[in-house]
C-alpha cells in the first residue's frame, strides 16, 4: 500500500451523479456541480456532466447522489514512525483514521517517541528522519506531513535554516520543550518564519511530562502561526482568555477533539462573531492519553454544527479548505489544479436528518461510502462510521 501510494497514477477518473458537492471554500461552501474529472491525481474539470469531457476514463465512479467533499485534514496529530503509536501501543491508527475521511495529517511534533532526543543535534536529526520517513511511507495512502521538531533552549537561527534546507517545514508545539517564555519563543518563531517553517504553540495546561502552562500572554507574545488547540490539550485556558486570543491575535484558531468541548464551542462562535471564520481549523490532538479517534474530525464537525449552531457546510470548511489555505497545501478544496482527495458521504442510516447536512446539524456523524486520495480509491464503505444510506459504485476500472 505504501509503495502504491508513492508511485501509482490514477489515470483519468470521472466521478458523476454527485448529489451534493462541498467545495471546502468558506466563501462558497456548496458548488452547483455534479461531475468531477481527475487526471493523474489532480482535478482537471468540474461542473455539470454535459459540460465536462468524460470520454476515455480509466475509472468511472457513480456517486449515487451522495455528497462529495474534499478529504478531511487533521491539523494536529502526534505520529511517531510507521502506522504505530507508542502512546497507546496501537497499530494501524492512521489507516483507521482514513476510514474516518481523513486524507491528510499534520504533525505537531513526534513527541511520543520513546527516548525522544532533546539535544539540538538529536532533535534536528529526528525531525529530518520523520519528515523523510513519512514522505516515503503513506499508511493507506494518507499524507502525513511529519518532521516537526520541538524547540529547545540553545537553538540559534542557523539551526532553523539548516532544518528548512533539509526539507523540514513545521515546528512541533512550542511549550512541549524547554522553551516556554514568550520572548524566547517569539525570537525562534521569527527565525522559523524567515526560513519558511510554520509554527504552532501549545495553549493551556500541560499535556505530557515536561510540558507546562502556556497562558494567553505567552501565546500573544510568541505570535506563532497557529494557536494550537486553543480549547486546551487537554486543559483549557478560561473561556474569557480564549476569546481574548481570538480577538487579539490574527493567527489560526485551532480547535481539537482532545480538548475542552465547551470552550471549543465558544471559540468557534467567537470566530464567527469577529467575522473571521476562515481562521478556524480542526485537529484531533491524537494519539494522546485519551486514545486514538478515527472519527475525531467528523465528530468535531457534528459537534460544532449542532451545539455551536453553525451551518454544517461551513464547519466542513474548517476541516478542509481553511486548513489547506493556512497550511499552504494543494488539497482541501474542490477546484481545478488541486489534489483529487475526496470523501464520499451520505446521511447515516436511520438518522433523524432528512439530508446529509441536516443530519450533521442535528449532531449525527455521517456515513462514509468511499475515500479517494490522489484520484485513487483507498477505501470503500467505512468500517468505522455508521453505515451510509447510499454508497458510490465504481462502474468501470479499479485500483
Average pLDDT of every residue of the chain = 95
pLDDT at 3: 45
User: Can you tell me the mean pLDDT for 84-94?
Assistant: 95
Is 5 a residue whose pLDDT tops 60? no
- Cell 502561526, residue located: 225
Section 77-106 average pLDDT: 97
- Low-confidence winner among 95-104, 123-132, 390-399 (lowest mean pLDDT): 390-399
The pLDDT-based confidence of 79 (bands split at 50, 70, 90) is: very high
Separation CA 151–CA 166 (nearest Å): 16
Give the number of other Cβ atoms within 10 Å of residue 240's Cβ. 10
Phi–psi pair at 102, nearest 5 degrees: -85, 125
Q: How is residue 149 annotated by DSSP?
A: P
pLDDT above 70 coverage of the chain, percent: 96
Q: How confident is the model at residue 207 (pLDDT cuts 50, 70, 90)?
A: confident
Three-state SS at 380? coil
> How do strand 72-77 and strand 393-396 relate by DSSP bridges?
unpaired
Torsion of CA 58, 64, 65, 66, to 10 degrees: -90
pTM higher than 0.85 for the full model?
Answer: yes
Place of cell 477546484: 335
Please tell me the number of Cα atoms within 13 Å of 41 on its side-chain side. Answer: 13
User: Under a CB-based contact definition with an 8 Å cutoff, are residues 155 and 187 in contact?
Assistant: no
Give the model's confidence band at 396: pLDDT under 50 very low, under 70 low, under 90 confident, else very high.
Answer: confident
pLDDT at residue number 206:
87
Nearest Cα neighbor of 85 from 285, 294, 296, 287 is: 287
Check residue 248 and give its pLDDT.
98
- pLDDT, residue 4, reads 45
Beta pairing, strands 376-379 & 367-373: antiparallel
Report the pLDDT averaged over residues 98-107: 98
Where do we find the cell 448529489?
19
Range 8-28 average pLDDT: 96
Q: Are 265 and 308 in contact (CB under 8 A)?
A: yes
Cα(141)–Cα(135) distance, integer angstroms = 11
| Per-residue confidence (pLDDT) for residue 287, from 0 to 100 | 96
Cell of 223: 505570535
What region does 327 belong to: left with phi over 0, alpha with psi -120 to 50, or beta? alpha
- Angle, vertex CA 269, rays to CA 268 and CA 273, nearest 5: 120
Q: Is the pLDDT of residue 169 over 90?
A: yes
Indicate the length of the chain as a whole number: 399
Determine contact, residues 197/225, Cβ cutoff 8 Å: no
For 79, other C-beta atoms within 10 Å of its C-beta total 29
| Res. 305: pLDDT tops 90 | yes
pLDDT beyond 60 at 2: no
Q: What is the pLDDT of residues 272-303, one digit of tens each?
A: 999 999 999 999 999 999 899 999 999 999 99
* Residue 203 pLDDT > 80: yes
For 36-63, what is each residue's pLDDT tens digit?
999 999 999 999 999 999 999 999 999 9
pLDDT of amino acid 399: 46
Max Cα–Cα distance, the chain, nearest Å: 62
219-272 pLDDT per residue, tens: 999 999 999 999 998 899 999 999 999 999 999 999 999 999 999 999 999 999
Which run of H or E residues covers position 245? Answer: helix 239-248
Q: Work out the average pLDDT over 205-218.
A: 84
- Name the helix (H) or strand (E) containing 13: strand 12-16
Q: How far is residue 259's CA from residue 126's CA, in Å, rounded to a whole number? A: 27
Dig out the grid coordinates for 251 from the structure.
493567527
- SS3 assignment, position 170: strand
Residue 208 predicted with pLDDT over 90: no
Over residues 313-330, the pLDDT tens digits come to 999 999 999 999 999 999
Amino acid at each position: 500500500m505504501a509503495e502504491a501510494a508513492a508511485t501509482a497514477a490514477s489515470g483519468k477518473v470521472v466521478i458523476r451523479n454527485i448529489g451534493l458537492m462541498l467545495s471546502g471554500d468558506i466563501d462558497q461552501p456548496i458548488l452547483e456541480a455534479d461531475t468531477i474529472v481527475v487526471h493523474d491525481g489532480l482535478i482537471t474539470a468540474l461542473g455539470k456532466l454535459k459540460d465536462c469531457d468524460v470520454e476515455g476514463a480509466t475509472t468511472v465512479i457513480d456517486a449515487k447522489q451522495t455528497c462529495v467533499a474534499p478529504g478531511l485534514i487533521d491539523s494536529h496529530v502526534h505520529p511517531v514512525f510507521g502506522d504505530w503509536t507508542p502512546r497507546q501501543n496501537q497499530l494501524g491508527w492512521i489507516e483507521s483514521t482514513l476510514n474516518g475521511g481523513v486524507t491528510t495529517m499534520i504533525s505537531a511534533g513526534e513527541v511520543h517517541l520513546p527516548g525522544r532526543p532533546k539535544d539540538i543535534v538529536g532533535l534536528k536529526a529526528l525531525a529530518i528522519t520523520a519528515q523523510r520517513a513519512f514522505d516515503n511511507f503513506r499508511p493507506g495512502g494518507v499524507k502525513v506531513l511529519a518532521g516537526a521538531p520541538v524547540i529547545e533552549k540553545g537553538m540559534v537561527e542557523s539551526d532553523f535554516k539548516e532544518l528548512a534546507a533539509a526539507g523540514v517545514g513545521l515546528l512541533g508545539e512550542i511549550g512541549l520543550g524547554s522553551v516556554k517564555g514568550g520572548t524566547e519563543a517569539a525570537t525562534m518563531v521569527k527565525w522559523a518564519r524567515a526560513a519558511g517553517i510554520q509554527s504552532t504553540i501549545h495553549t493551556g495546561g500541560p499535556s505530557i511530562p515536561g510540558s507546562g502552562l502556556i497562558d494567553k500572554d505567552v501565546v500573544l507574545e510568541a505570535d506563532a502561526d497557529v494557536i494550537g488547540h486553543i480549547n486546551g490539550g487537554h486543559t483549557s485556558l478560561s473561556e474569557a482568555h480564549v476569546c481574548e486570543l481570538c480577538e487579539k491575535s490574527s493567527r489560526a484558531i485551532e480547535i481539537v477533539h482532545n480538548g475542552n468541548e465547551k470552550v471549543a464551542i465558544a471559540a468557534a462562535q467567537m470566530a464567527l462573531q469577529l467575522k473571521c471564520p476562515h481562521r478556524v481549523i480542526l485537529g484531533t490532538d491524537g494519539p494522546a492519553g485519551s486514545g486514538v479517534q478515527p472519527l475525531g474530525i467528523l465528530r468535531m464537525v457534528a459537534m460544532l454544527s449542532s451545539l455551536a449552531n453553525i451551518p454544517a457546510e461551513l464547519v466542513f470548511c474548517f476541516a478542509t479548505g481553511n486548513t489547506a489555505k493556512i497550511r499552504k497545501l494543494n488539497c482541501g478544496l474542490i477546484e481545478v489544479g488541486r489534489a483529487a482527495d475526496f470523501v464520499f458521504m451520505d446521511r447515516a442510516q436511520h438518522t433523524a436528518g432528512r439530508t446529509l447536512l441536516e443530519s450533521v446539524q442535528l449532531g449525527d456523524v455521517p456515513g462514509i461510502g468511499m475515500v479517494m486520495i490522489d484520484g485513487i480509491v483507498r477505501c470503500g464503505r467505512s468500517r468505522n462510521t455508521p453505515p451510509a444510506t447510499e454508497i458510490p459504485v465504481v462502474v468501470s476500472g479499479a485500483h
